[in-house]
Amino acid sequence: MRKTLHALALAAVTATSLISTAAAAPAATPYVPGTLRPSADQATQDAALMKYWNFWKTNFLSTKCGSGTYAVLSKDADHAYVAEGEGYGMTIAAMMGSKDTQARAIFDGILKFVKAHPSVNNKDLHAAEQDANCKSVNGSDSATDGDLEIAYGLLIADKVWGSSGSVNYLAEAKRVINAIKKSEVNSSSHYMLLGDWGNDAEYKNSSRSSDWMPGHFRAFAKATGDSTWTTIRTTHENAITKLQSQYASSTGLLPDFVVNTNSTPKPAPANFLEGQYDGAYSWNACRDPWRLGADAITADGSAAKAQVRKMNSWIQTKTGGDPAKIGSGYKLSGSATESGEHPCFTAPFAVAAMTDPGSQAWLDKLFTQITKFSPDKTDYYGTGITLQVLIILSGNFVAP
């Protein structure tokens, strides 16, 4: 998103359903050999997942935007509804498809909301922000992170439910994927743009590291047969390696925003787009260990494995092996930028830990720390990220 997710917003509308706790979903993707899982038994892992799923549904789903519509409330963002939140909702609901009878209705309801709010620049993308009255605001243009997740969620839905029902999920996914390529990818450098508004002189050679999701690009190439997505993936993989080497050799951390993507990528300066920590590992880049880690544990030979292992090794040393000491942001050199613990920084490191065979004890500590968190009904961002990490930790992740 364009703004750092902090401020409080609106009250939630609740949703309930029938829940069944079971083992990993039938559509779940096997992890590559050597991937760690928490030592806790499967029932404990599933219970932690269902706790967050139920909490998320109760506190962050709204039905006020139209009949048959669901929308994810982003209470700690700048607007009541943001594209990233809708994308998260679709991905989460699809992955929970075998565990909750209501999951498909939630997914289809969010998709209905998304399609009712197209971007002014490309009707196949989603307008990034809606107000409390469900009206698109702030230019009605798109945010790349939201569209990437919407397309990915549609591919998961196709894998979980198939596309022969009332919604052709695969066709919908391809529609959005093609629109992302057209309007949210720099056609010269193959870097992701910030949104369909980002292809101008000021922003065309900049990108958000948390949009560098190799698993998404891998899935898009598979679904469309378009090799451009492989080029896009390798472009970002190479950039991560170079940024780690040149700017974060001891930490492996990535900055929220990257500039100079047309030549030699480097961290953005302070106040480039959102705030003083735009060139640091902050409220956007905190997702990187999760996003990169997800590809590392599902795609054999992924470049992300070595990349997240650097992050994993550093954070263990930084905290002395105590997850409670993970801070809320760091300079790329490793010094803290903001104090205090927040789940959106803690939880993603658990996915990174899964990639390292020597990190079982550390992973178990992270799992314990994550499950000790009391979900916050005003924290859409942290709750949504933690829920998605628990899907991965519990073995229910679906890589389309």
For 324, other C-beta atoms within 10 Å of its C-beta total 10
Q: Given pLDDT bands bounded at 50, 70 and 90, which one contains residue 26?
A: low
pLDDT digits (tens, 9 = 90+) for 57-86: 999 999 999 999 999 999 888 899 999 999
Tally the domains of the chain.
1
Least confident among 157-161, 200-204, 251-255, 376-380: 200-204
> Is there a contact between 365 and 302 (Cβ–Cβ < 8 Å)?
no
Least confident among 2-16, 139-153, 186-200: 2-16
pLDDT digits (tens, 9 = 90+) for 364-398: 999 999 999 999 999 999 999 999 999 999 999 99
CATH of the domain at 345: 1.50.10.10
Which stretches does DSSP call E strand in the chain? 61-62, 71-72, 81-82, 129-130, 206-208, 257-259, 266-267
Residue 314 included in any domain: yes
Tokens in use for 327? 């801070």
Q: Which are the catalytic amino acids?
A: 84, 145
Residue 156: helix, strand or coil by DSSP?
Answer: helix
Residue 27 included in any domain: no
Residue 17 included in any domain: no
CA atoms within 13 A on the CB side of 343: 23
- Domain extent, residue 125, equals 42-393
Predicted model pTM? 0.93
Residue 290 included in any domain: yes
Q: Given pLDDT bands bounded at 50, 70 and 90, which one contains residue 134?
A: very high
Tokens in use for 332? 């790329």
DSSP assignment, residue 262?
A: T
The Cα 147–Cα 187 span in angstroms is: 17
Residue 399 included in any domain: no
The H or E element spanning position 30 is none
pLDDT given for residue 35 in this prediction: 98
> Is the predicted pLDDT of residue 11 greater than 70, yes or no?
no
> Is the predicted pLDDT of residue 7 greater than 50, yes or no?
no
pLDDT digits (tens, 9 = 90+) for 39-59: 999 999 999 999 999 999 999
Beta-carbon contacts of 133 under 8 Å, excluding residues fewer than 6 positions away, are: none
> Helix 144-161 crosses helix 83-95 at what angle (to 10 degrees)?
20
pLDDT given for residue 201 in this prediction: 86
pLDDT digits (tens, 9 = 90+) for 189-199: 999 999 999 98
Which of 312, 395, 306 has the alpha carbon at shortest distance from 352? 312
Helix and strand element counts for the chain (H, E): 12, 7
Residue 398 included in any domain: no
Which stretches does DSSP call E strand in 89-145? 129-130
The Cα 4–Cα 273 span in angstroms is: 9
Tokens in use for 138? 């702030």
Residue 12 included in any domain: no
The H or E element spanning position 245 is helix 228-247
Residue 11 included in any domain: no
pLDDT given for residue 19 in this prediction: 32
Q: Which residue in the block uniquely carries the two structure tokens 């230019």?
A: 139
> Is the predicted pLDDT of residue 24 greater than 50, yes or no?
no
